[in-house]
Structure 1
Amino acid sequence: MMMEGVEGDVVIVGAGIAGLSTALGLHRLGIRSLVLESAESLRTTGYYLGMWPNAWKAIDALGGIGQILRAKHTQLIGIVTTSVVSGDITAEVPIKSADSEGDSGLYAVNRKTLLETLGNVLPRETIKYSSKVVQIQDSDGFKSLHLADGTILRAKVLIGCDGVNSVVAKYLGLSKASSAGRSSVRSFVEFKNGHGFEPKLMLFFGKGVRFGVIPCDDHSIYWFYSFHPPQVSNNNGADKKIEDRMKLKQHILSTIGKVPDKIRSVIEETDATNIEYSPIRFRHPWNLLWGNISKGNVCSALEDSIILARVLAAALRGERRENEQQRIRKGLENYAKERRWRSIDLVWSAYISGSVQMWDGVVLNFIRDHILAKFLGGLFLKKASFDCGKLN
């Protein structure tokens, strides 16, 4: 049976970190939104992610949840980079402690904990599960969303937070995400008697690989590994050699080069069933430069949910209701202009940094290890200094 109805002012596609934080920002400003999630529940798979100062500024702007998350995680005090070619430390960059406003510092945050914390403070009716959007159409100033179950929803504003296969990005005309030519492995290991590492982000690179080891608490370690796969992946995103996790684990151990035994033991002690493999995909910066990241009353939320929530609240709360659609359109256009260059900067910097760290060859290794190492470490901190401002 087909149903149709207007479901609030704002509809957000995707209940990931971007979708839930945008919904919470709007909620804090008194704007009701509906989040559509294709899965039956929150997608809490995955392990940890590094949350830098810019992320904490956004989290703190949402009110209250920053303190909850900090209490459950360990702050990191520095970044150490090591060459797997020579085994030498190439740079060590300290990270200052959180200041009085709590907006500085780097933490390894459990993705499941972050999503559940965001979801728990939203009104119960905000998230609608098992709601896969299959088509988007214009409808008298609204956007009609056709769901897989036959339901049709109408929204004044549509926001896409639905990942690399985004149906909203497709509607906006953005091209499909491209392969970066690299693949990623992520995993997690527990040491019952403690791991003994200092709370530092430890990065290792060279010989075509890049990996990192991050202490999450006294007993838990999260690690990631980026490399050029031994053969081209098929359409399912996993080739026969890679999908065998035990072989993948052995491949990693055979390619990590000169690293301390303590680092090697992190991978050796990892249960192969906890290893996740996926090809790395991204949108080229020129896609963001020339493509639409907003169109009319549709926007693809790329990073900053706080800025987006402010823009929409101002448009929807305007006194002249007859110009609401015009205010929404203008607000999203201004948001897109502001976020476009930030997004291009982040995508381009991440791509170049990842490529440099995986260089191979005597001359390239020397340039990276002796000239660029400190620059790359500082680059991480510089990109993380962005301040999205407060909700009000």
Structure 2
Amino acid sequence: MQQKEAGEEAVVVVGAGIAGLAVALGLHRKGVKCSVLESSPELRASGFAFATWTNAWQALDNLGVGDKIRKLHLHLQELHVFSSSTGEITRRADLTVQGKRGPNELRCVRRDWLLRALEEELPKGTIRYSSKIVAIEEDGNAKIIHLADGAILRAKVLIGCDGVNSVVAKWLGLTKPSSSGRLATRGLAHYPDGHGLDPRFKMFVGHGFRAGVIPCNETDAYWFFTWSPSEHESNGVEESAEKMKQFVLTKLRSSKIPTEVLEVVERSNINDVVASPLRFRPPLSLLLASISKGNACVAGDALHPMTPDLGQGGCAALEDGVALARCLGDALLGGGGAAESERIEASLREYARIRRWRSVELVGTAYVVGIVQQSNNAVISFLRDKWLAGVLAGRLLKMADYDCGKL
């Protein structure tokens, strides 16, 4: 395919997921134009929904879309942690208690609704769909980006928000994410006449898996199921949504799981059930990683892929968006000239400094919490049910009590 002449871009963001759109909207609010390259022909809403904690709402408020999303989702009042082996509640936690930075807030947000809300706030044409990067080169202070359709872009700043298999992260030299040895299945159940579920996050731990049900609004309920598959359990299960759904139901029915939870899984449309391996970037590698290099950096899952055990993956991506837009926006608004490239590099180093330790803490904590919650070991199960359940619930709230700062 014949290559097209390079087009000049100030800032190029790779990936129109949560992190990419948050960065783009943050820069737009600061008065900085950018282009977002998305390899898919439309917005991707995989994952269905995600827990949106206090720290994420602060970020969304900074981006100017907090109330727009709030009104579409239930404010969850309590967390109930159950033992999958006994069916007993091992911990109740008030999700509205006062934190260091104000009252806690948790809602389960539909991913597609959030992405559309962020997209609607961006200038038309900001997102370039069907734009897949195939190569990155350097030319002085500029990044030369080659796309699959032959187009070439010349960018002052390159920001990789392209997920766990990030092309930009690979170019920066970040280590490949590691397998956690676990899989996650997620689904969304729709009740046209209302599900009648209480505004509670119900989580079931132990018995070799971790599962939960969270109402998003009056008609949608999100569920998840994570486990470490043995060879016979994983045989063909991931290849079929129907097999995956039946596998989850079989595991839940063999445990002390309430009927209303089983009904949520049963009601899920077969097209709304997916399974995926859980990967994470080892915390030690993040301590040494080149989060930024020159005028390029990464954010979201491209920076800190983590297991979902804290419900902080999407929340951390929103934090990244605000922090990066603040640092970079101020640098770009300082004027052009020879000093601009130095300001850009300094701003990305500052962003990396801010996000490095936060990323290390989130990834490491999520990994340990997941092992403890899912374990079927007799000693760990006893400690978890008698004591650790409260500690783990406290960690969820502590990780959410974080201030990413203003734009």
- Common topology (TM > 0.5): yes
Q: Is residue 2:362 matched to residue 1:361? A: no
Amino acid at match of 2:246: Q
Instruction: Describe the superposition over 1:289-316 as per-residue Cα deviations: whole angstroms up to 9, x where unpaired.
Output: 1111110110111331111111111211
Q: Is residue 2:238 matched to residue 1:242? A: yes
Amino acid at match of 1:334: E
Instruction: Describe the superposition over 1:310-335 as per-residue Cα deviations: whole angstroms up to 9, x where unpaired.
Output: 11112112257221111111111121
Map 1:340-359 onto structure 2 (within 5 A).
340-359=356-375
Within the candidate set 293, 299, 303, 2:297 is matched to 299
Q: Is residue 2:143 matched to residue 1:143? A: yes
**Counterparts of 2:102 and 2:239, CA distance in 1:** 42
Secondary structure (helix, strand or coil) at the match of 1:2 reads coil
Q: Is residue 2:119 matched to residue 1:123? A: no
Q: Is residue 2:315 matched to residue 1:317? A: no
**Counterparts of 2:246 and 2:112, CA distance in 1:** 28
**Counterparts of 1:313 and 1:190, CA distance in 2:** 41
TM-superposed CA distance for 1:115, in Å, is: 0.5
Contact 2:97 2:103 in 1 (8 A): no
Instruction: Describe the superposition over 1:49-100 as per-residue Cα deviations: whole angstroms up to 9, x where unpaired.
Output: 111010010110012x11111111111111110001111101010111799x
Query: 2:43 matched to which residue of 1?
Result: 42
Map 1:150-189 onto structure 2 (within 5 A).
150-189=150-189
Contact 1:25 1:309 in 2 (8 A): yes
Contact 1:80 1:93 in 2 (8 A): yes
The two structures have a TM-score, normalised by structure 1, of 0.93
**Counterparts of 1:265 and 1:193, CA distance in 2:** 15
**Counterparts of 2:123 and 2:112, CA distance in 1:** 19
Query: 2:248 matched to which residue of 1?
Result: 252
Cα distance change of structure 1 residues 98 and 195 upon mapping to structure 2, 3 Å threshold:
farther
Secondary structure (helix, strand or coil) at the match of 2:47 reads coil
Contact 2:27 2:33 in 1 (8 A): yes
Contact 1:46 1:112 in 2 (8 A): no
The range that moved more, 343-352 or 254-263, is: 254-263
Instruction: Describe the superposition over 1:230-266 as per-residue Cα deviations: whole angstroms up to 9, x where unpaired.
Output: 3399xxxx85233233332232223221122222222
Cα distance change of structure 1 residues 361 and 104 upon mapping to structure 2, 3 Å threshold:
closer
Secondary structure (helix, strand or coil) at the match of 1:72 reads coil
Query: 2:93 matched to which residue of 1?
Result: 93
The two structures have a TM-score, normalised by structure 2, of 0.90
Secondary structure (helix, strand or coil) at the match of 1:205 reads strand
Amino acid at match of 1:284: P
TM-superposed CA distance for 1:190, in Å, is: 2.2
Contact 1:7 1:34 in 2 (8 A): no
Amino acid at match of 1:293: I
Contact 2:25 2:118 in 1 (8 A): yes
Amino acid at match of 1:177: P
Query: 1:52 matched to which residue of 2?
Result: 53
Instruction: Describe the superposition over 1:255-280 as per-residue Cα deviations: whole angstroms up to 9, x where unpaired.
Output: 22112222222223333332111111
Contact 1:60 1:103 in 2 (8 A): no
Query: 2:309 matched to which residue of 1?
Result: none
Contact 1:159 1:301 in 2 (8 A): yes
Contact 2:157 2:296 in 1 (8 A): yes
Within the candidate set 273, 283, 287, 1:275 is matched to 273
Query: 2:31 matched to which residue of 1?
Result: 30
The range that moved more, 354-363 or 114-123, is: 354-363
Secondary structure (helix, strand or coil) at the match of 2:237 reads coil
Query: 2:262 matched to which residue of 1?
Result: 264
Cα distance change of structure 1 residues 84 and 71 upon mapping to structure 2, 3 Å threshold:
same
Secondary structure (helix, strand or coil) at the match of 2:183 reads strand
What fraction of aligned residue pairs are identical, expressed as a percent? Answer: 46
Contact 1:54 1:387 in 2 (8 A): yes
- What is the CA RMSD across the aligned residues, in angstroms? 2.0
Cα distance change of structure 1 residues 7 and 320 upon mapping to structure 2, 3 Å threshold:
closer
Q: Gaps spanning 5+ residues in structure 1: where?
A: none
